[in-house]
Amino acid sequence: MGKSNLAAEILLFTDGACSGNPGPGGWAAILRHVESDKEKKISGSEARTTNNRMELMAAIEGLRAINADRRHRVCLISDSQYVIFGLTQWIKGWIANDWRRGKKSNAPPVLNVDLWKTLYELSQQHDMTYEHVRGHSGHLENEECDRMAVAAIKDLKRGND
């Protein structure tokens, strides 16, 4: 793990998946309390969605699963540049531009603005750091989140048969 994890008390690993884009999608998160090494695994699915929405849902639901009784030091670890860059580079500009992708009033709105607003609000409740990992590169927790997200899609499809 990178140095950014050393100060974290909770590691939040996330991934999203989609079967078709759009299509049925799944998301997954693993929360690990660093000191105790206790883990919580969560996942879910949506019938018609996109990969980016599932990446966002994984982060949202992971943050929702953290006890909100106080601020925590959380390191969000994702293979989604969309999520990581969105939270670290793009979001301040989006907010300044009233959730638009440019300064002009006719600039297009940010895609998935509903989820971005929720994710931003949740991220403000904690002291956040972020780490991007390459997907499908053997990162243990990222691979597990991928398996869980794909399994959530399969469970959804089985339920619709």
Q: Which of 41, 59, 74 is nearest to 119 (CA)?
A: 59
* Active-site position among 46, 79, 131, 141: 79
Active site residue 35: no
* Active-site position among 15, 46, 131, 141: 15
E runs forming strands in the chain: 10-18, 23-33, 39-49, 73-78, 127-132
* Active-site position among 16, 26, 62, 86: 16
d(CA 2, CA 6): 8
Active site residue 146: yes
* Active-site position among 25, 44, 46, 55: 55
* Active-site position among 46, 131, 141, 146: 146
d(CA 99, CA 115): 12
Active site residue 136: yes
d(CA 14, CA 28): 6
The pair of three-digit structure tokens given for residue 52, joined into one six-digit string: 């980016």
Active site residue 15: yes
* Active-site position among 37, 69, 136, 138: 136
Residue 102, φ and ψ in degrees, nearest 5: -175, 170
> What positions carry a catalytic annotation?
15-16, 55, 79, 136, 146
